[in-house]
Structure 1
Amino acid sequence: MSDPEVATKAPESDAADDTPSTSENPDAKPPLCDDCTSDRPTPSGQAATGEIVKINGIDCYISKPADYPHVPARLLLLLTGGTGVKSTNNQIQADKYAGEGFLSVMPDLFEGDAAPNSKVTEDENIPLIEKIKMRVADAAKSFVLDMWLARHTDEKVLPILHKVLGGSKEMFTDAANNGIYGVGYCFGGRYILLLSSERELPTSWEQKSEDEEGGSKLKGPFLKAGALAHATCVTPEDFNGLKAPISMVCVENDGLFPDDVRVAGEDYLSKNNVEHEVQVYPGVPHGFAIVGEYENANIKEAQVTAYEQMLSWVKDH
């Protein structure tokens, strides 16, 4: 496979993606892809080695370097796609970072409510009546995913993350001394952006901290550096206030992270002198960077390269 392309600023004449939402267009892509909501086959011979523990009441998968605490480690927050904390593939992903010296904390972003994972198989030889049935099934799936996303908004997810961040600092003080790093995939990728920004949490939310004047305030950035792969549900506004160095693994022609959103983000980062890198991977599906088996050798190679990109970024910062 050729090297991934380094993203460059698109011409101003490039058209934005005007695809209507699934509620307006039943044939449009769902808000999350199959790889966001269901696991690929787990690679042969691999199994998770960490454990699920409670941190401030939140289930978290914890994976520690083999020689920790005798050898120092750095604290890494890993945010998953819709398959969640109990996914074996996600757990193996956390183990991979632990094997590189990071104490990996992977929280349950969904409080036990992982994304629905119905999958519709497409085949050009399927009779027309069956294709119509599948189109109806796709529309139903999109509706179910919309309802699931409506249950997992910023108002729900960010307080979970701040509970986990605070509890992790207390539980693993030595690893958190030099800051917390973050990596995120699909749904979790957007929250790496939000945690890397200097925005404040609204005071109406339950997780608060007291400032010197006695008011409630929780202001970022909360991560020392972040990396994300094929994020979903991202808008250009999600880049506002971003301060921590950020690395992005992107998919060419990704309808779930459109070029206009990516380019707007790159423009913001460049104009505000935020250290960043963006790699666009051609010929791979959305979700390719998450642990999971593919038969296509090019996708396998890209998966390895994307992991090395993200790992190198957090290691180097």
Structure 2
Amino acid sequence: MSGPMCDSCFTGVRHEGEPEGKIEQIAGIECYVATPSGEYDKAKVVLFLTDVFGIPLINNKLLADDFARNGYRTVMPDLFQGEPLPRTSCWMTRHGPESWHPVVDGVVAALKAEGISWIGTTGYCFGAPPAWRLALSGDAKVTVVSHPSRLRVPEDLEEYAQKAKAPLLINSCEEDKAFPAEAQAKGDDILGGGKFAPGYERTYWPGCSHGFAVRGDMSNPQVKAGKEGSFEATVKFFNRYKSL
């Protein structure tokens, strides 16, 4: 998976709020963990796979908290091992698949060892390939990606259709150089219309650009609708397939 990233992958608006989760070590990896305040299914986890801003971005932590409010313990591993984005070619080189594979695999193995039997992934931008990987390996029961980057089109879409068993939701938008209209249409062509038996959906948010689901400008009504709507669609998708 070595598709494109774009300028919008590295920009956005910081949201306001006070995170409620905690930093924990899982398999020696720093993770932000948001836990529901009431009763919840201890065998289920949402694995939150971040954009390039990682755990330090408050927006990511607030979204994890929102999943916890909807009844899912949510684990956000540090994909960048203490080095979230400075946008340089060296940074991109250091954070290729060989750097995040052991992070993701280690956290997943530790979660399974503690009794987790259902993992739903939600991958944003940079987090889409890790989510893809866990679907292809059979570790994820449900996959959601929002404004994905670094996916090869059509190769990765075709591989998902052929090998994955996890239902897939893609939250897409109007302006997205990393996953443009042609890629969105290709996804529908390969996976839609009942062709992908486990289940496929794609939401489309007009007036939104890459990053809208995490780093959008909430003063813009269309972007606010896209951010909130894609989150709602993600939770509903998890709920629909939580018995897998």
With structure 1 as the length reference, what TM-score do the two structures score? 0.68
Q: Which residue of 1 aligns with 2:103?
A: 160
1:261 CA displacement = 2.7
Tell me which moved more, 307-316 or 250-259.
250-259
1:265 CA displacement = 2.9
Q: Which residue of 1 aligns with 2:142?
A: 225
Correspondence 1:31-42 to 2 at 5 A:
31-34=5-8, 36-38=9-11, 40-42=13-15
Q: Which residue of 2 aligns with 1:259?
A: 181
Q: Structure 2: where are the runs of 5+ without partners?
A: none
Q: Name the SS for the 2:232 alignment partner.
A: helix
Listed one character per residue, the Cα deviations across residues 263-284 of structure 1 (whole Å, up to 9, x for unaligned) are: 3333332444341001221111
Q: Name the SS for the 1:232 alignment partner.
A: coil
Listed one character per residue, the Cα deviations across residues 2-22 of structure 1 (whole Å, up to 9, x for unaligned) are: xxxxxxxxxxxxxxxxxxx9x
Distance 1:105 1:304, change over 3 A: same
Distance 1:285 1:260, change over 3 A: closer
Higher strand share: 2
Listed one character per residue, the Cα deviations across residues 20-48 of structure 1 (whole Å, up to 9, x for unaligned) are: x9xxxxxxxx83434x33552323xx210
Higher helix share: 2
Correspondence 1:181-260 to 2 at 5 A:
181-197=120-136, 220-235=137-152, 236-239=154-157, 240=159, 241-260=163-182
1:294 CA displacement = 2.3
Q: Structure 1: where are the runs of 5+ without partners?
A: 1-20, 22-29, 118-143, 198-219
How far, CA to CA, are the matches of 2:14 and 2:57 in structure 1? 11
How far, CA to CA, are the matches of 1:188 and 1:100 in structure 2? 21
Contact in 2 for aligned 1:38/1:83 (Cα 8 Å)? no
How far, CA to CA, are the matches of 1:103 and 1:292 in structure 2? 24
1:258 CA displacement = 2.3
How far, CA to CA, are the matches of 2:208 and 2:111 in structure 1? 35
Q: Which residue of 1 aligns with 2:219?
A: 295
Q: Which residue of 2 aligns with 1:148?
A: 91
Contact in 2 for aligned 1:92/1:291 (Cα 8 Å)? no
Distance 1:38 1:255, change over 3 A: closer
How far, CA to CA, are the matches of 2:6 and 2:85 in structure 1? 9
Q: Name the SS for the 1:289 alignment partner.
A: helix
1:147 CA displacement = 3.1
Distance 1:75 1:153, change over 3 A: same
Cα RMSD (Å) of the superposition? Answer: 2.1
Q: Name the SS for the 1:284 alignment partner.
A: strand
Listed one character per residue, the Cα deviations across residues 61-118 of structure 1 (whole Å, up to 9, x for unaligned) are: 11100025xx43421100000000122111111000001110100000111111126x
Q: Which residue of 1 aligns with 2:238?
A: 314
Q: Name the SS for the 2:165 alignment partner.
A: coil
How far, CA to CA, are the matches of 1:253 and 1:290 in structure 2? 15
Listed one character per residue, the Cα deviations across residues 259-314 of structure 1 (whole Å, up to 9, x for unaligned) are: 33333333332444341001221111211111665211121122111111111101
What is the number of residues matched between the two proteins? 231
Q: Which residue of 2 aligns with 1:49?
A: 20
Q: Which residue of 1 aligns with 2:64?
A: 94
